[in-house]
Amino acid sequence: MYEAKRAGRDAFVKHAVPVPSEQSSTRRISEFERLRHAIDAHRFVLYGQPIVDLEGANITQYELLLRMLDEDDRPLPPSSFLSVAERLGLISRIDSWVAEEAIRLVADQAKAGVSLTLNVNISGKSVGDPALMEVIDRTLSETQVNPSQIVFEVTETAAIANLEEAKAFAEKLRVRGCQFALDDFGTGFGSFYYLKHIPFDYLKIDGDFIRGFRDNTTDTLVVEAIVAIAKGMGKKTVAEFVQSPLVAEQLRASGVNYAQGYQLGAPRPVSALFAA
């Protein structure tokens, strides 16, 4: 239509849908095989980023972050493979592996006398997958860990896109004693509306509001509104992408409970963080 308008109107332009090339099909197969091999050969590693309790200024929990090892054992960031895994239908297997590893890590630390709480990111594509819940149930039963030491995170946008499944997932976690966090909160239209539909324990405030917290009035008002609502509901807030101890202190004064960011603690391999 636009091409016809640009051609002077009173005309039509024929558009031929391109046929996927053999090269693009081969690339998709290659991506699928690479990811499937990584899953089967355990080519994933976990990193942990500290989450700081702003009231006591101590680390109370960690968010687990996933890396995939390339052919030279170099860790690849999640941006290089997670979206591909979602598109190719492999993300549930990855999420299940992370969930099981997290629960077993908490159990191992408990045996060493360390109480550890871990945050586990779950793709919106996995929240309705019964196989994931089966893995969670089985591993919790085998390890007998305190389920409240596992916090499952789903981004707000993913929760909104799969509202009923996200609600059911959060409710199932609550029955089992696990905790649930809405990640990147504040990015979606009508964010506050969804709070009455999805049971949660933590709101993780999107980093876009935290970056401008000191200098932007709108960001400050949004953060304070999120804190007020969470506090009124008896829930906790976590500020993401905190860039300095000064910002962390100002967030604490505004009522934010926890903070994380590279300046407070960069992600490190769990093998280096926790004793075997």
Read off the pLDDT of residues 137-154 as tens digits, 9 standing for 90 and up. 999 999 999 999 999 999
The per-type count for the chain, helices as H runs and strands as E runs, is 11, 10
Q: Map tokens 């091409």 to a residue.
A: 3
- Of 189 and 22, which is predicted with more confidence? 189
| pLDDT (0 to 100) of residue 18 | 52
Task: Please give the CATH architecture assigned to the domain spanning 22-273.
Answer: Alpha-Beta Barrel (3.20)
| pLDDT (0 to 100) of residue 6 | 43
pTM: 0.86
pLDDT above 80: residue 10: no
pLDDT above 80: residue 3: no
257 with 203: CB under 8 angstroms?
no
C-alpha to C-alpha distances, 194 to 69, 157, 173, 188, 261, nearest whole angstrom: 37, 11, 18, 10, 26
Question: What single-letter amino acid sits at 55?
Answer: E
Q: Read off the pLDDT of each residue in 33-60 and give the average, rounded to a whole number.
A: 93
Q: Assign 3-state DSSP to the chain and report helix, strand, coil percentages, each to 5.
A: 45, 20, 35
Q: What percent of the chain has pLDDT over 70?
A: 89
**What phi and psi, each to the nearest 5 degrees, are found at residue 57?**
60, 30
pLDDT above 60: residue 215: yes
| pLDDT (0 to 100) of residue 255 | 96
CA dihedral for 148, 150, 156, 162, sign (positive or negative): negative
38 with 88: CB under 8 angstroms?
no
